Amino acid sequence: MSFKNKTALVTGGAGFIGSHVVDRLLQEGAEKVTIFDNFIGGQFNNIKHLIGNPRVQLIVGDVRDFDAVKPLVQESDFIFHEAASKLVASLKNPRIDLGTNIIGTFNILEASRDSDARIVQISTGSVFGSSDKPMNEEHVKNPTTLYGISKLTGEKYGLFYAKEFGVKASVLRYFHVFGPRQDYHGEAGVINIFLSKILNGKAPIINSGGEQIRCFTYVSDDVDATLLLAQKKEAIGQAYNVASKTRMSINELAKIIIDKYADKPITPEQGDTRQGENLKPIPDTTKIEKLGWKEKVSFEEGLENTKKWIEQDMKDTGNSF
Ligand SMILES: NC(=O)c1ccc[n+]([C@@H]2O[C@H](COP(=O)([O-])OP(=O)(O)OC[C@H]3O[C@@H](n4cnc5c(N)ncnc54)[C@H](O)[C@@H]3O)[C@@H](O)[C@H]2O)c1
């Protein structure tokens, strides 16, 4: 199945990953792509290159609003549900987290009951807890954050709607995504935050001791997985993990970036311990590899692309850290 001459809805399409999904759908020949975003985390900068493109429709709206979501779902061949309240936001505002990640996801699924649309519902490795071994899709889910709880609930709705109501939904769990357009002023997206600090000659702050392991995945590899799932019939009603096989601790990450890009000696600072920090959220990705996904961008290449983007963005916007 191709995206040529098809219509797609990307919730959270002004966000970091959603905006890359939009770009790829246009490259793949989609006839119309609707970006639906309330801009709570999204940036106009991520989509400014699309303004005026007759194949792109931008709607400022909220996935918690069923009446706004329903007509968009019904006119779409594909739905990429990226909109979410994120990890750090979930603790600051549990009501928004529950509303967006559970009610918002429910609205997309409920609106799809009488449609034929293929849905890729984005979830997260935070639905698992920590484990010493790589976790496959069936591994026990013990989320340690409100974000993990709300995303897991959304997943369960998606898989139930697929099984019982024939909704053509698949669940895709990203882990530690990085790349251009990831906000480097926020509290998540550690690679971009460290890069921007170090490029400005400042010390990165390492939270929770720094021995926690992450498998950093370059954004275009996650976009590949997202579009792949939408094209595979056998993925309907299934959940998949997707992540790089490159694994490192936050302490190792800081050292790599300092060694590569600092122009003077920098010693990282120790920060707070974060609530619910997963020490080893490492997935097994065999299932999505069997479907045809393959990691294409090495960590080094992804890091270099991201560094170049941050330098350019700091120049364009006058931002630093
Ligand atoms: N970045 C990562 O490392 C990572 C890891 C695992 C899972 N994910 C998942 O990937 C998806 C995209 O995340 P991202 O990193 O691009 O984050 P992001 O914050 O850049 O994008 C999320 C987008 O959703 C929008 N949004 C939030 N609440 C909304 C609402 N109620 N209605 C409409 N739009 C709303 C935001 O404005 C933002 O543009 C999310 O579902 C997230 O849970 C991301």
Give residue 109's pLDDT.
Answer: 98
Structural domain contains residue 18: yes
Assign residue 126 the CATH number of its domain. 3.40.50.720
Exposed e or buried b per residue across 254-266, where buried means at least 16 C-beta atoms within 10 angstroms of its C-beta: bebbbeebbeeeb
198: nearest Cα among 184, 213, 179: 184
Within a domain: residue 289? no
- At 206, is the secondary structure helix, strand, or coil? strand
Mean pLDDT of 277-284: 84
User: Is 147 a residue of the active site?
Assistant: yes
Total of domains in the chain: 2
Binned at pLDDT 50, 70 and 90, residue 91 comes out as: confident
pLDDT classification of 320: cutoffs 50, 70, 90: low
Determine the distance separating the centroid of ligand 1 and the alpha carbon of 82, expressed in angstroms: 5
Out of 206-210, 235-239, 252-256, 271-275, pick the least confident: 271-275
Beta strands in the chain, from DSSP E residues, in sequence order: 7-11, 32-37, 56-60, 78-81, 118-124, 168-174, 177-178, 205-206, 213-214, 217-218, 239-242, 248-249, 269-270
Co-location of 21 and 130 in the same domain:
yes
Same domain, 115 and 234: yes
Q: Verify that 191 and 77 share a domain, yes or no.
A: no
Whether 138 is covered by a domain: the verdict is yes
Measuring from each residue's beta carbon to the nearest atom of ligand 1, which residues come in under 6 Å? 11-12, 14-18, 37-42, 62-64, 82-86, 100, 104, 122, 124, 174, 176-177
What mean pLDDT comes out for the span 207-236?
Answer: 96
- Tell which residue, 46, 54, 47, 105, has the closest CA to residue 80: 105
- The confidence band for 3, taking pLDDT boundaries of 50, 70 and 90, is very high
- The best mutation among 34, 64, 65, 86 to test binding of ligand 1, ranked by most ligand atoms within 8 Å of the C-beta, falls on 86
Residue nearest to atom 18 of ligand 1 (CA): 15
**What is the position in ligand 1's atom list of the atom closest to the CA of 125?**
6
Query: Is a pLDDT exceeding 90 seen at residue 16?
Result: yes
Co-location of 253 and 234 in the same domain: no
Same domain, 141 and 83: yes
Nearest CA to ligand 1 atom 19: 41
pLDDT of residue 163: 98
At 73, the pLDDT band (50, 70, 90 cuts) reads: very high
154 within a domain of the structure (yes/no): yes
Does residue 287 sit within a domain?
Answer: no
> Stretch 5-32: mean pLDDT, rounded?
98
Print the domain residue range for 33: 7-177+218-242
| CATH code, domain with 270 | 3.90.25.10
| Distance (Å, whole) CA 43 – CA 137 | 32
Taking only the tens place, the pLDDT of each residue in 43-59 is: 999 999 999 999 999 99
Residue 321 confidence (pLDDT) = 58
Residue 290 lies in a domain: no
- Dump pLDDT digits (tens) for 188-203: 799 999 999 999 999 9
Predicted confidence band of residue 5 (pLDDT cuts 50, 70, 90) = very high
SS3 8: strand
Environment class of residue 213 by beta-carbon count within 10 Å: exposed (0-12), middle (13-18) or buried (19+)?
Answer: middle
Identify which of 38, 66, 123 to mutate to test ligand 1's pocket (most ligand atoms within 8 A of the CB).
38
Rounded CA gap, 128 and 89, in Å? 19
Asked if the model's pLDDT at residue 88 lies above 80, the reply is no
What confidence tens digit (pLDDT) does each residue in 251-278 have?
A: 999 999 999 999 999 999 999 887 777 7
Average confidence score pLDDT of the chain: 94
* Three-state SS at 56: strand
- Assigned domain for 288 exists: no
* pLDDT for residue 27 is more than 90: yes
Answer yes or no: do 48 and 165 share one domain: yes
d(CA 13, CA 15): 5
Q: Tell me: do 53 and 159 sit in the same domain.
A: yes
Ligand 1: residue whose CA is nearest its atom 11: 82
Specify the residue with its C-alpha closest to ligand 1, atom 26. 83
Q: Do residues 77 and 223 both lie within one domain? A: yes
Instruction: Tell me the one-letter amino acid at 47.
Output: I
Looking at 147, 157, 184, 240, which residue is catalytic? Answer: 147
- Which residues lie closer than 8 Å to 290 by C-beta, 6 or more apart? none
Do 13 and 160 lie in one domain? The reply is yes
Structural domain includes residue 286: no
pLDDT for the residue 278: 77
272 and 146 in a common domain: no
Instruction: Identify whether the C-beta of residue 111 lies closer than 8 Å to the C-beta of residue 124.
Output: no
Rounded to the nearest 10°, the torsion over CA 95, 101, 106, 107 is: 80
Q: Give me the mean pLDDT over the 277-306 stretch.
A: 94
Share of the chain above pLDDT 70, in %: 99
pLDDT tens, position by position, 151-196: 999 999 999 999 999 999 999 999 999 999 999 987 779 999 999 9
User: Please, which residues bridge with residue 171 across strands?
Assistant: 121, 239
**Mean pLDDT in residue range 131-159:** 94
Report which ligand 1 atom has the smallest distance to the Cα of 86: 43
Give the ligand 1 atom nearest the CA of 40. 37
For atom 12 of ligand 1, the residue with the nearest CA is: 82
- Residue 85: count other Cβ atoms within 10 Å of its Cβ: 25
Atom of ligand 1 nearest to the CA of 64: 31
Same-domain status, 125 and 20:
yes
For residues 104 and 194, membership in a common domain is answered with no
